[in-house]
A and B are shown apart, each in its own frame.
Chain A
Amino acid sequence: MDAQLAAQVVVLASFYSLVGTGYVLVYRASRVLNFANGELMMLAAYFFFSLAVLGQRLLPLTVLMALVLAAVLAAVIYLATVRPMTGYPVFSVVLMTVGLAIVLRGIAELVWRAQARYPLEALHLPNRPLTLPAGVTITAVEAAEVGAAIAFIGGILAFLRLAGIGVQMRAAADHPVLASQRGINIHLAFALSWGLAAVAAGIAGLAFAANVRLEPNIAEQGLRALAVPLAGGLTSIPGTVIAALIVAASENLAVRYADPLLAGVVPYFVILAFIVLRPWGLLGEKEELERV
């Protein structure tokens, strides 16, 4: 039974760390908390669903196409709305992303309606339960989600350290002015960050839609995951992963031992605890914190 709980924690944590990585990538690039992250996650899942309905049958190709579409959308959003706002107060840009979130949600409701969809059924694929050792049962999609989270986050960390453009992205995030002086196309780097963020959130969205259901409201799951990067320190992907485990564990424990209604509040309690004790998060950069 306890092994089952641990498995649930890992599954939830991989969801949270994927969405959280989306927030971190955007925050590092534009110093903006992207409130439209949940909507990007939801839209990636809808792209997946539509491709499936339109007759795409090959699962890996469908997933890839949906993620690429989401990445392109995010890059376009960056270039069309966030880039012109360079130099405005951060607060304005953050509120602008809230506006974006409303627009994207409205468009999703307009195009796909508010009813719940089931993308796996559209693909005629089953979601089999898998039995792991120690009597743990998780669904195939959940297993794939954990695998994808490990692969993607590992991949992106390696990409940022090793690949040329990855190093350029880090340079642009650390000091945009110096980076552009050295000939780095910072807007390309930032657009790429937004695109990768949409891919991270999109994987989580696809998994959620395939495992549970798909409706415009699943964007709120993304908003709830906001606690994770904050606890992890907003600029650090490893910190986000650790924080995801902490938040997922406390959420599962609260639901099991206290009150199911608590599920939505626990992440916020974790944030409050962090703001009081360690406002820069687990592995965040200490010096950039705005403290009184």
Chain B
Amino acid sequence: MAAGSGYLYTSYTRALAVLDTTFKKQCLSALATAVILFPLVGSNYQVHLVNLSFIAVIGALSQNLLIGYAGQVSLGFAGLFAAGGFTAALMVKELGFSAFLPVLAAASAVGVLLGVLIGLPALRVKGLYLAISTLALHAVIIYGVSEYQHRLGGSAGIVMPKPSFGPIVINSDREWYYLLGALATLVTLACINLTRSRVGRAWQAIRDRDIVAAACGIPLLRYKSLAFVVSSGLAAMAGAVDAYHAGFVSAEKYSFLLTVQYLAMVVVGGLGSILGSVLGAFVITLLPFIIDFIVHAFPTPERLLISVLQLQRIAFGVVIVCMFLLEPRGLVALWERVKTFFQLWPFKFVVARVR
């Protein structure tokens, strides 16, 4: 892992551990403490923003597993997110479920089934054509849910209840914070371990060269389908969580722009990196609010003040374009550079670069 500096592993267990150095352990425990204590310090609004980012982390990870690790380009995220949200809404409205976890499980199950379906074209085509076929499936799912919403009469959407675990009901932003934080942490840990395992290594082999992967004995069909299934299940779960958190489900929300936003998180963060997805999710979710803050903090012409929404949009696009032009490997590559600098300090040059 470490470039240049002399890290010495004395056992295989140490080398395989996620937290392989004491410094990492200390940093992580500091971060964990900060995350746990944050709601006591931050305002309701700030806690709410972090909540949104936690949901984005789950969605971004689902996309990174598929695109960054397995190399299967998909533009169907918003469709799966919608499927999750509407499954939750259906469970609550039509079947009268109110408990949070069964609804989440059902949404993930629907996502898994759709994943099998979306993965089917991947067995025949790849690259651009795969992206387009997933886009087509997105359109079909959105058609389905808007048809359902249309039938309901009230075209505005479906109201969701507060999530409940038996007698415990999640009400305030702070309660949401701990629920979503725990969920996002769980998913992140699961993804870290998944990508280190046999499955994750198979995905990366397929991403790097599918023909060689097949020659090495990796069953392409099984692992490609698995990538779609896992990613779609996660995406649908994120959709259900988001539906509960927003308290409201409506077909208009799940536009192609949503897919773009999540793709941006994955790419701005760094493809094929869990840390990248987490960073990207936070940056892209918070970016509009940061721009809002900047616009209001400085003296701005009246004309610009009334078009904050447009400015947010332009800045969002500019960030994506600049990221591609300047650092296509994402934020995580910037972070690696900073890390390498300090590991090598006071020396400047890397002799042999080990990732």
Contacts and interface: CB of A to CB of B under 8 A. Distances in A.
Contact of A102 (B137, B220, B316): B316
B328 A275 contact: no
B126 A292 contact: yes
Contact of A33 (B122, B128, B137, B146): B128
A157 interface: no
B125 interface: yes
Interface string A89-109: 011111110111111111101
B328 A290 contact: no
A96 B324 contact: yes
B321 A268 contact: no
Interface in B62-83: 73
Contacts of B128: 33, 90, 94, 290
B127 interface: yes
Contact of A271 (B132, B317, B321): B132
Interface in B119-171: 121-129, 131-133, 135-137, 139-140, 143, 146-147, 150
A81 B318 CA distance: 11
A95 B180 CA distance: 29
Nearest to B146: A261
A223 B259 CA distance: 14
Interface string B101-135: 00000000000000000000111111111011101
B33 interface: no
A95 B263 contact: yes
Nearest to A263: B143
B296 interface: no
Question: Chain A interface: which size bin?
Answer: 35 or more
26 contacts: A85-B325, A91-B127, A95-B320, A96-B320, A98-B263, A98-B320, A99-B318, A100-B317, A103-B317, A103-B321, A106-B310, A106-B313, A106-B314, A107-B314, A109-B309, A109-B310, A223-B256, A226-B132, A261-B146, A269-B136, A272-B137, A275-B121, A279-B124, A289-B125, A289-B129, A292-B210
Contacts of B256: 223
Nearest to A31: B128
Contacts of B328: 85, 88, 92
B124 A95 contact: no
Contact of B267 (A92, A105, A226): A92
Interface in A67-124: 81, 84-85, 88, 90-96, 98-107, 109-110
A275 B133 contact: yes
Contacts of B147: 259, 261
A292 B136 contact: no
Contacts, number: 129
A230 interface: yes
Interface residues of B, number: 45
Nearest to B326: A84
Contacts of B313: 102-103, 105-106, 109
Nearest to A275: B133
A184 to B, nearest CB: 26
Contacts of B131: 91, 94
Interface string B305-340: 001011101101111110011001000000000000
Identify the interface centre among B135, B136, B143, B319: most chain A CB within 10 Å of its CB: B136
6 smallest beta-carbon distances between A and B, as pairs = A99-B320, A103-B317, A102-B317, A106-B314, A106-B313, A268-B136
Contacts of A178: none
Contacts of B124: 275-276, 279, 291-292
Contact of A81 (B126, B143, B150, B325): B325
A272 B136 contact: yes
B129 A279 contact: yes
Contacts of B319: 99
B229 interface: no
Contacts of B267: 92, 95
A100 B321 CA distance: 7
A271 B136 contact: yes
B323 to A, nearest CB: 8
B19 interface: no
